[in-house]
Structure 1
Amino acid sequence: MTPEFVVGFARQAIEMTLIISLPMLGIGMVVGIFISILQAATQIQEMTLTMVPKIVAIFVALLIAFPWIMDKMMTYTTNLFLNLPNYIR
């Protein structure tokens, strides 16, 4: 196992993590910006007004993106297990 292989393997794992988390992070950011603009326009500074909509939006995004996430994870894990003999050498 060469250092280049280990770095490439770690890079691939980090890329997969970022790709999988992107839908939830994007939705959370969009909802957070919208709520911040709403709070600035109405001057309502309530902490639950920012947290509850973001939690609900992220949960809904997770429910919608879950099949895609599972497909990505299953593909990644299958490739990992199929190439395991090559990694051991």
Structure 2
Amino acid sequence: MRKAQFVLGTIVVVWLAGGSTARADYAWCIQDSEYGYPGDCSYQTREQCLLSASGRKGFCGQNPAFITRAPPQPALRARRTLPY
């Protein structure tokens, strides 16, 4: 019984580790029938995306995950007090 649980657990761990597709987190995505939605999001600029999409029946769109992400907050600086 323990051997069966071990084998089943190993299968689940391998499935979870390798089950997700690699997805870049850049601002622009090629969206077409090959990649679906949101598409291949491996382009930092719209120009890169357009160059890669030329000749395909797709288009470039902004990555929805990139758009909805909150902008980074500026780091707070500690105030230095000078002795008088």
Greater fraction of residues in strand: 2
TM-score normalised to structure 1 length: 0.28
- After TM superposition, the score normalised by the length of structure 2 is 0.29
Task: Please tell me whether Structure 1 or Structure 2 has the larger radius of gyration of its CA atoms.
Answer: 2
> Per chain length, whose mean CA-contact separation is higher, i.e. which structure has more relative contact order (CA < 8 Å, sep 6+)?
1
